[in-house]
């Protein structure tokens, strides 16, 4: 299978795979190293940095839409709600609950 082209195709793949590198590599039938290398050549950014940024952008969007914190954490591939909350706070300097409240 060929690698996605453009950020839109990469985002579609990442969302389908729960933002997991291992799952993305499996779908493309390549090793994780080749995935990271191909991504860097195409997008000019490290895969893990891009995935982290995209996860937080979608998290913020979904929380502002009123989705529950647990639902957002699950859709973005976090192993636990607390791991998601820590990552969210590190990125945006407020909790996911505070983000939902601000959107109301």
* DSSP string computed for 22-64: HHHHHHHTS-HHHHHHHHHHHHSS-HHHHHHHHHHHHHHHHHH
* pLDDT under 50: residue ranges of the chain: none
What is the pTM assigned to this prediction? 0.85
Residue found by looking up tokens 């839109």 in the block: 8
Q: How far apart are CA 57 and CA 61, in angstroms?
A: 6
> Which residues are CB-contacts of 75 (< 8 A; sequence separation ≥ 6)?
18, 58, 62
Residue 67's pLDDT is 93
**Torsion angle (degrees, nearest 10) of CA 22, 90, 94, 51:** -30
Instruction: Specify the length of the chain in residues.
Output: 104
Residue 24's pLDDT is 94
Residue 1's pLDDT is 60
């Amino acid at each position: 299978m060929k690698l996605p082209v453009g950020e839109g195709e990469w985002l579609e793949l990442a969302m389908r795979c729960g933002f997991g590198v291992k799952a993305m590599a499996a779908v493309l039938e390549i090793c994780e190293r080749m995935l990271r290398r191909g991504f860097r050549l195409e997008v000019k950014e490290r895969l893990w940095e891009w995935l982290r940024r995209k996860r937080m952008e979608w998290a913020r969007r979904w929380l502002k839409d009123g989705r529950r914190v647990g639902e957002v954490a699950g859709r973005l591939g976090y192993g636990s709600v607390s791991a998601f909350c820590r990552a969210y706070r590190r990125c945006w300097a407020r909790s996911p609950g505070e983000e939902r409240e601000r959107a109301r």
